[in-house]
Chains A and B, each alone.
Chain A
C-alpha cells in the first residue's frame, strides 16, 4: 500500500503534547497525520490537505473548535469531512451544540485509547 492510499487525519489541539501523542498512535495505526494548533491553522490545513477526518479540540486560540466546525461545515471543500471532538469539557450544552453542528463523535479527555481508535476506524469506514 503506497503512501497515497493512507487515510489522512488532521489533529487540531493547542496542547502540543497531546497532539504528538495522538499522531504517534494514529501513525502507528497506519494513518497519515497533520497537525494544527489553533482554529485558523485548522481551517487552512483542512482546505489545503482535504483530510478524511478531523479531530478537533473545543478550547483553542483564534476562535475555538465550535467556530472551526461551523466554518468547515459551511465550506464546500470541507463540509463532508467527518469531525470528532476531543475535549476536556464535560458539558451537556457543548455536547448538544457539537451534535447540532454536525460532529460525528464526542470524546472527553482523558479518553480510552481502544474506544477512540475504534471510533476513528468506524468513521473512516474501516471497521
Chain B
C-alpha cells in the first residue's frame, strides 16, 4: 500500500511537531522546511503527496499560495492546505482563492488526517480536470495548426454566429481582427443570419461569391463547446477555376452552335427558294436532287441540335420549363410530323391515348422531343408493319403515366440491349451501320425522362420488334386512385 508523504512549509515548529506526531502515528511520512524557494526545493525531493503551507503571520489579502514556485519545483499537482491564524476568515478565503484546496486554523487542535485525506481527494479531481483541460488545449492547438496550414479559408462560429476563430487564409480574404463580429455581417454585409444558417442547425453546404470576387463552396461541420453549445466549423473551397471553365465551355458551345446554324440557314433558304421556283423553272430531276440537299441539311441540323443537347445535358444544364399539362396535348405537338414520316415509309401509325388520363407536370417540348425520338427510331428500324403509340395510367404509389412506342421492326440484339442508352452507342449489323444517326437520341431521351422523375426502358427481341416505355409522375394535385 502506498505511504503518503505530507510536507510542511513554515516557521511554526509547534505546528510542525503537532503534524509530525499525529501523521506518523497514522503511518504517513512527514517532511518540513522553511517557506522559501530553498525550502520548497528541499521538500520537493521527498516527492510529497500534499503540502501544508503555513501563511506565517500574514493575514487578510496578503495570504497567497506561491503556486508558481510550486510549479517550478515540480509540485504543481500536489494539493495545498493553508494554515491561517485562528479566526482570520479573510485570509482563509484568500488562501483558497489563490490555490489552496482547504485551510486549517492555528493553533492546530483537531486531528489533521481526515482533512488531509479529503484534500488528497480534491487534489486528484483537480488534477484530472487540469489534465482534461490540457488535452483540450492541446487538441485545440492542433486544430488551429491544421486550420493554419490549410490554403482554404476556414473559421469557427459560436451558436450566436460570432466568429471565434479564423485561419490565415480566411484573414487574407476578409482581413484581420474580425473575431467577435458576426459571420453574416463581416463576410456578407448582412444584418440578419444567412438563410442557410437560419434554416438549418446541422451541417450544411452552400456556395458564395466572396469579397475577393472568387466563388467558394462551403461545408460546415458541427462541434460542441465546453458548455455543450453547437459551434460550426466552416471550410471553403475556391471553385472559381471550375466556374470559369464552365463559363468558357458555355460560351464556346453557344458560339460554335451559332456558327454552325448560320450557314445551314442559308443552304436551307436557297434550296427552298429554288424548290418554290423563285430562281426560275426547274426540272423534276433537279427538284429531286434539291430534295436530297434539303433532307441532308435537315439531318445535319438535327445532328447539331442533338450534339448541343447532349452537351448541355451531360454538363448538367438541362433546363426544364415545366407546366401542368397532359400527354395527349404533348403528343399533338409532334403527331402530324410523325404520321407523315410513317406514311412516307409505308407504315401504319396507331395512336391510343385515353381522354381521361391524369395530368403531368412536364416540359411539353422536351417530352414531345422524347416521343418524336422514340417514334422516329421505330419508323427508321421498321420495314413493314405498324407503329403503335399508347399511353395509360399506372395507379401504383402516387400514380404514373406510361407512354409506349411499339414497332414490328428488326428488334435489338440481346447483347446490345443493355447499351443502347449509352452516349454514341450504335447497333452494328454485320459491322455496317444500318442507318444514319450519331447514337445520341436515346441518351438524351433517357436524361429528359429522368429529369422529370420518370424512367425509360426497352423490351425487344431481334426480328420481333421493339417496345420503348417511359413513365412520368402524375401531377400531385391530380393523384386520384381509381
Question: Could you tell me which A residues sit within 8 Å of B by CB distance?
Answer: 15, 17-18, 21-22, 24-25, 28, 59, 87-92, 108-111, 113
Contacts and interface: CB of A to CB of B under 8 A. Distances in A.
13 contacts: A15-B262, A18-B265, A18-B266, A18-B269, A21-B269, A24-B279, A25-B272, A88-B258, A88-B259, A90-B257, A110-B261, A110-B267, A110-B301
Given A28-B278, A90-B257, A109 B272 contact: no
A15 B266 contact: yes
A109 B278 contact: no
Interface residues of B, number: 23
B258 A25 contact: no
Majority DSSP secondary structure for residues of B touching A = helix
A17 B269 CA distance: 10
Interface in B260-278: 260-262, 264-270, 272-273, 276, 278
Contact of A90 (B259, B265, B266, B308): B308
A91 B301 CA distance: 17
A91 B254 contact: yes
Contacts of A91: 254
Majority DSSP secondary structure for residues of A touching B = mixed
A17 B308 CA distance: 25
Contacts of A88: 257-262, 265
Contacts of B267: 110
B297 interface: yes
Contacts of A17: 266, 270
Contacts of B297: 110
Given A28-B278, A90-B308, A92-B319, A113 B269 contact: yes
A110 B269 CA distance: 8
Contacts, number: 58
A91 to B, nearest CB: 6
Nearest to A116: B269
A59 B258 contact: yes
Contacts of B259: 88
B254 A89 contact: yes
Given A88-B258, A90-B308, A24 B265 contact: no
B46 to A, nearest CB: 85
Nearest to B250: A91
Contact of A21 (B254, B261, B266): B266
A88 B257 CA distance: 8
A111 B319 contact: no
Contacts of B276: 25, 28, 113
Given A21-B269, A88-B257, A89-B254, A110 B264 contact: yes
Interface in B301-332: 301, 308, 319
Contacts of A113: 269, 272, 276
Given A91-B254, A110-B301, A25 B269 contact: yes
Given A15-B265, A28-B278, A89-B258, 15 more contacts: A17-B270, A18-B262, A18-B266, A21-B269, A24-B273, A25-B269, A87-B258, A88-B257, A88-B259, A88-B265, A109-B262, A110-B264, A110-B297, A111-B268, A113-B269
Nearest to A57: B262
The 7 tightest CB contacts between A and B, nearest first, are A109-B265, A21-B269, A88-B261, A110-B265, A88-B258, A110-B268, A17-B266
A41 B257 CA distance: 27
Contacts of A18: 262, 265-266, 269
A91 B257 CA distance: 11
Contacts of A15: 262, 265-266
A86 to B, nearest CB: 8
Contacts of B254: 89, 91
Given A109-B264, A110-B265, A24 B278 contact: yes
Contacts of A59: 258
